[in-house]
Structure 1
Amino acid sequence: MLADAERRYAARSTPDLGDEVAARQHDGGPLLWTRRLTSRTGERCALQLIGIADNALYVQAADGGRNWHRRRLPPFVTALDVRSGRELWRWEQPGISHRPAALVGNRLVLALPELTAIAV
C-alpha cells in the first residue's frame, strides 16, 4: 500500500480476472477508482506499487497476463494518474519481470539484466 496526502493506493489480485490497483480517500472514505492492469488467473498479485511522483503512481507488473487473443504479454512498468487512474504510459520489457525498480526523486530507475539501468 502507498499513500499521498489525499489518497491511499493498493494492488490486489481478483480471482479469475487479473490484478488491479485501487485508490481510496486517505481518510478511509469511498473508493475513488480501480484500474485492472493484467488479465490472468492466480492467487498472487503480480503488481508492485513503486512510488508516487508528479501526480503519477508508478506500478511494476512481474507478469503482463494475456490479451484478448490469449497471447502472453510481457512484464511492464506503467504510470497511472493519481486522480483518475488513467494509464499515462506503459513500458513493456521481457527482462524486467523480477528486477528491482525504484523511484528516485521524480525518476524511475530499473536495473536490467545487461548490467545497465534506465531512468525515465
Structure 2
Amino acid sequence: MRLRALHLPTGRPVWSFQRSRPTARTLHDPRLAGSGLVHLLDEGALLALDQGSGREVWRFAPGPLTQGPLVERGTVYAVSHAPEGREGREGRDGWDTVLALDADTGALRWQRQAARCGGAGCGFELLGLRPQGLYVKVPQGGRRGLLGRSSDPHVAVLDPASGRARRHWDHPPLAGADALLIGDHLVLSRPELTAYGLP
C-alpha cells in the first residue's frame, strides 16, 4: 500500500511512500503539523515524513498502537496497548499507555501507563487538547486502573506536559456513545446528540 501526495491545483503526483500492509488497527489519516511534516501511523510505528519530498524524517516504534496520531502544538500524542499474558491469548489484561513525542524530532517527551483493562474494548480515544489539558475517552478500566476507580467509561483530562491525570469526569455517562470535542463542549451521540460544557 502506498501513501501518495498530490499537487492540489493540478493533481500531479509529488511523491509516494510505501507503507506496511495495513492491519485492523492502522488508521489511514495522516495529520499535517505546522512544521512541514506529515505524521502518520504505520502498523506499530509512528512516522514523520517531509511534506515536500516524502522522505522519512523520524520513526518511533512503541508497540501496538490503538489510535493516533493527534498532533497539537508541536507534540504528537498516541496511545498504545500492551497486553499481558501468553502470546495469542484473546481477552487478556494489559495496559493502555499514552505517549507524547516531539513533533519535529520524534524524541519521547513522556509516556504514562494510564489504565489497566482487558479485551477488545481496550484503547483510549484521544479527543483533543484544550487549555484544561489533554482529553481522552477511557472505554474501560479495572479497579487497578490509574485514571479512575471505576470500570465505567469516562473522560480523563491529562496534563499535556507530563501525562499526569488532572481530572476524572464520569458525567455524562459515556457507555456506547461516540464522543467529539467541539470548541468548549463534549458532544455525545447517544441517547441523542447532546453537548456538555467541558469541566
Q: TM-score, normalised by structure 2?
A: 0.51
**Which deviations, in whole Å up to 9, do the C-alpha atoms of 1:31-62 show, x marking residues without a partner?**
11112222123466421001111161110011
The amino acid of 1:76's aligned partner reads H
Distance verdict in 2 for CA 1:38–1:73, change over 3 Å: same
Matched residue, 1:6: 74
Matched residue, 1:39: 116
Aligned with residue 83 of structure 2, among 15, 22, 36: 15
Matched residue, 2:23: none
**Which deviations, in whole Å up to 9, do the C-alpha atoms of 1:2-25 show, x marking residues without a partner?**
011321000111112311211011
1:6 and 1:116 map into 2 onto residues whose CA distance is 31
Matched residue, 1:53: 130
Matched residue, 1:119: 197
2:160 and 2:75 map into 1 onto residues whose CA distance is 8
The amino acid of 1:113's aligned partner reads P
Aligned with residue 102 of structure 2, among 25, 37, 41: 25
Q: What secondary structure does 1:82 align onto? A: coil
1:75 and 1:6 map into 2 onto residues whose CA distance is 29
Distance verdict in 2 for CA 1:6–1:116, change over 3 Å: closer
User: Between Structure 1 and Structure 2, whose CA radius of gyration is higher?
Assistant: 2
5+ residue gaps in structure 1? Answer: none
Deviates further, 4-13 or 94-103: 94-103
The amino acid of 1:78's aligned partner reads A
Cα root mean square deviation, aligned: 2.5
Q: TM-score, normalised by structure 1?
A: 0.79
The amino acid of 2:177's aligned partner reads R
For the pair 1:87 / 2:158, whether they are aligned, the reply is no
The amino acid of 1:107's aligned partner reads H
Q: What secondary structure does 1:113 align onto? A: coil
Alignment check: 8 A CA contact 1:21 1:37 kept: yes
For the pair 1:67 / 2:135, whether they are aligned, the reply is no
Between the two proteins, the alignment pairs up a number of residues equal to 117
**Identity across aligned pairs (percent)?**
35
The amino acid of 1:34's aligned partner reads Q
